[in-house]
Amino acid sequence: MTSRDTIAAIATPSGLGGIGLIRVSGPAAEPIGRRLFRPSRRLVVFVSHHLIRGEIVSPRTGAVLDDVLVAFMKGPHTYTGEDTLEISCHGGPLILRTVLEEILAAGARPAQRGEFTKRAFLNERLDLSQAEAVLDLITAQTQRGMAAAAGRLKGDLSDRIGDFRSAVIDLLAVVEASIDFSAEDGVESLPGDTLQAFQPLIDAITALAATYRRGRIIREGVRVVIAGRPNVGKSSLLNRLLGEKRAIVTPIPGTTRDFIEETVDIGGVAVRLTDTAGIRQPENAIEQEGIALVWERLAAADAVLLLLDGSATLTAEDRELLAGQEGTPLLAVVNKADLPQRLDVGEIAGLLPEAARPPIRISAKYGAGIEELTAAIRDTLLAAPAEEEPEAMIAHLRHKAALERAAAGLTRARDSLRDRRAPELAALELREALEALGEITGGNAPEEVVERIFTRFCVGK
């Protein structure tokens, strides 16, 4: 599929920069380049995939707009699969806008959000899961997130889905053969090992679907709230985890009034840490409102670091916080390990949910126990040690839903064959499983899903 129209957009972020890139894709890319570009040396033809230095000249005024590098790339061996022109200008916003206006006047139209990548998908340069990985790569916040997105872009997930589809097609062929042919034709009604082939495939698809939570966390990051009563060291812990002084620390209770939020990379996960006001009996209406907001943040958190003062006994506020975190992953952290200890860790453990980790002793002031704490945060968020990384992970809810539908279809097909019902019913379920898997890579994804995916992109990609 090659579009009849030609699109253009600035492909680099807005603002000042050393270089700014304008991308043009479509059948008029080369004619537009010839009309606007004056090479430094005489050029008979554009040599595909070569950089050429020259000037962009306005055909309307004859004015030289910029000294540039131009690369013309002949389709289909381009990102979009179409003829593509890339112009590297100086990175001033005015220069880029002026050159783009000349390109549009020469016959291109402004690109829509994600339209370059959408054309790559429509021209089968990428499948839909790889197109999503492009955006994941651009928006990655950690090295681990970037590596996971790069793997999906390379085709790790696509290959896995391809293996599943191939296995389903093999099963479907056997079932349909039992429908179309009789025993007189030398075809068994159903080979004896067919039923045994279902369960390993169902298990593999289910296992891939189960990676969604881990993959989503690595892609999107998580919200972790640091909570506790006043003066237990919440701001000191935030500063320690960030490796810089971000929050004001004083011995005066109630120093933190507003939320302080910062993002830190913990074990390859982008963790949005929120330092909150101390939980205590409010002394005025303003403090009461602030504490109410803390409880709202706790309810919306992906995990809670509940900070306790190891140099004091457990208080009513501590007990209230321990009791109020049901359903949210909780790490009890006992601070001030550098002081004489009065807090009974066994008493805390008895108040924690059954699945919670044992309390961790730290000194936010001096850094003791911080490595153990960050490892516990990482493992709690990912629900598994970092070294247990699956070969392929999904990171989008639509992938999880499609895999679950495929596994359910296969289960129904297996049960239908086991119960000796009409093989046509099993064949129908297998086709539905095949269709669900195809939605992940885009072979038969609904048009509205495709449109929704590409509207999340920036204009130049």
- Tell which of 68, 101, 125 closes a domain: 125
Query: What is the rounded average pLDDT of the residues 52-70?
Result: 94
2 in any annotated domain: no
220 in any annotated domain: no
Domain residues for the domain of 333 are 229-380
- What lies within 8 Å, CB to CB, of 320 at 6+ separation is 279
* pLDDT band, residue 459 (cuts 50/70/90): confident
Higher pLDDT, 396 or 380: 396
- pLDDT of amino acid 249: 45
408 in any annotated domain: yes
* pLDDT band, residue 67 (cuts 50/70/90): very high
Q: Is residue 172 located within the same domain as residue 99?
A: no
Q: Is residue 174 located within the same domain as residue 206?
A: yes
* pLDDT band, residue 411 (cuts 50/70/90): very high
CA dist 343 and 318 (Å) reads 11
Q: Is residue 90 located within the same domain as residue 186?
A: no
Q: How many residues does the chain have?
A: 461
Q: Is residue 163 located within the same domain as residue 269?
A: no
Q: Is residue 281 located within the same domain as residue 419?
A: no
The pLDDT tens digits for 287-310 are 556 666 777 787 788 888 889 999
Q: Is residue 13 located within the same domain as residue 78?
A: yes
* pLDDT band, residue 324 (cuts 50/70/90): low
Can you read off the two tokens belonging to residue 363? 């000194």
Q: Is residue 192 located within the same domain as residue 264?
A: no
Neighbour count for residue 311 (Cβ, 10 Å)? 16
Q: Is residue 234 located within the same domain as residue 175?
A: no
Amino acid identity for residue 392 in this structure: A
Least confident of 65-74, 162-171, 320-329, 372-381: 320-329
* pLDDT band, residue 14 (cuts 50/70/90): confident
Query: What is the rounded average pLDDT of the residues 176-188?
Result: 62
* pLDDT band, residue 253 (cuts 50/70/90): very low
Q: Is residue 35 located within the same domain as residue 104?
A: yes
Instruction: Report whether 21 contacts 87 (CB < 8 A).
Output: yes
CATH classification of the domain holding 161: 1.20.120.430
459 in any annotated domain: no
Q: Is residue 203 located within the same domain as residue 267?
A: no
CA dist 431 and 425 (Å) reads 10
Query: What is the rounded average pLDDT of the residues 167-172?
Result: 94
- pLDDT of amino acid 192: 65
105 in any annotated domain: yes
The pLDDT tens digits for 193-219 are 788 899 999 999 999 999 999 999 999
Q: Is residue 374 located within the same domain as residue 282?
A: yes
* pLDDT band, residue 250 (cuts 50/70/90): very low
Q: Is residue 361 located within the same domain as residue 337?
A: yes
- Tell which of 75, 110, 125 closes a domain: 125
Neighbour count for residue 340 (Cβ, 10 Å)? 7
Average pLDDT, the chain: 87
Can you read off the two tokens belonging to residue 22? 């304008």
* pLDDT band, residue 190 (cuts 50/70/90): low
236 in any annotated domain: yes
- The pLDDT of residue 129 is above 50: yes
- What's the whole-model pTM score? 0.83
CA dist 149 and 322 (Å) reads 37
Looking only at Cα atoms, what is the longest distance across the chain? Answer: 91
Counting residues of the chain whose pLDDT is more than 90, the rounded percentage is 54
CATH classification of the domain holding 345: 3.40.50.300
Residue with tokens 């045994």: 196
The pLDDT tens digits for 69-111 are 999 999 999 999 999 999 999 999 999 999 999 999 999 999 9
The answer for 416, left when phi > 0, alpha when psi is -120 to 50, beta otherwise, is alpha
CA dist 111 and 114 (Å) reads 8
- The pLDDT of residue 182 is above 70: no
Residue with tokens 């699969």: 81
- pLDDT of amino acid 287: 56
Q: What angle do CA 434, 435, 439 make, to 5 degrees?
A: 120
- pLDDT of amino acid 254: 47
First-to-last C-alpha distance (Å) of the chain = 19
- Tell which of 125, 140, 158 closes a domain: 125
DSSP state of 269: E
How many domains does the chain divide into? 3
458 in any annotated domain: no
32 in any annotated domain: yes
DSSP state of 218: H
CATH classification of the domain holding 70: 3.30.1360.120
